Structure 1
Amino acid sequence: MDTNITPTALPGSGLEPLLTADDLATYLGIPVSTVRDWRSAGKGPCGVWVGKHLRYTVSDVRTWLSEQRESQPGQLSESR
């Protein structure tokens, strides 16, 4: 992911980094309100609840992004 984002993970822990909604919005270059709207509408990447805090795994974000890719230029993917 973007080197300007500092995902929550301990170096050398072997745990997958976690992103906040703010991290995800920054990476995608969109407002955090859009991330929250997508979540409410069931359109964004899957999240993980850590207690009362919502986080996004890097692998789930990558999977979701690959599902958004056009099958051909100008054609929306069927998952959108």
Structure 2
Amino acid sequence: MRRPAIPHASIQTPKSAKEVITPTPDPLLSPAEAAEHLGTGVRFIRRLVQERRIRYVKVGRHVRIRASVLDAYIDDHTVPTLREARSAYRRAA
């Protein structure tokens, strides 16, 4: 009996674990979504990108920003309270 040259779809083996696409835990956000995440306007986000103050990803001609980059930006630009700033100084003995 002759075997078909192209196996039938139901006979094919399932994809391996490497071939299955899983959603990334760090989503790519559009400038509008990034602005909503930071609570600012889209213009501010575009200025950060233009001045290269935050990292971004180019997908074709579209700009996308990872959520972790925005979280790092918030952490880097958080101003400490006076109590935290004073605790860095030690009293003289």
TM-score by length of 1: 0.63
**What are the superposed Cα offsets for residues 51-70 of structure 1, whole Å, 9 maximum, x if unpaired?**
21110111111111111111
**What are the superposed Cα offsets for residues 2-26 of structure 1, whole Å, 9 maximum, x if unpaired?**
xxxxxxxxxx814231100000111
How many correspondences in the alignment?
A: 62
Partner of 1:4: none
For 1:30 and 1:64, the matched residues in 2 are separated by 13
Given the alignment, which residue of 30, 35, 41 partners 2:40? 30
* Residue 55 in structure 1 maps to residue 54 in structure 2: no
For 1:38 and 1:66, the matched residues in 2 are separated by 16
For 1:63 and 1:18, the matched residues in 2 are separated by 15
Query: For the Cα contact (< 8 Å) 2:30–2:65, is it kept in 1?
Result: yes
Q: Which structure's CA Rg is the greater one?
A: 2
Give SS of 1:36's match.
helix
User: Which residues of structure 2 form unaligned runs of 5+?
Assistant: 1-20, 86-93
Q: How much identity, in percent, do the aligned residues show?
A: 23
Partner of 1:20: 30
Partner of 1:78: none
What is the Cα-based RMSD across aligned positions, in Å?
2.1
Runs of 4 or more consecutive aligned structure 1 residues displaced over 6 Å after TM superposition: none
User: Which residues of structure 1 form unaligned runs of 5+?
Assistant: 1-11, 76-80
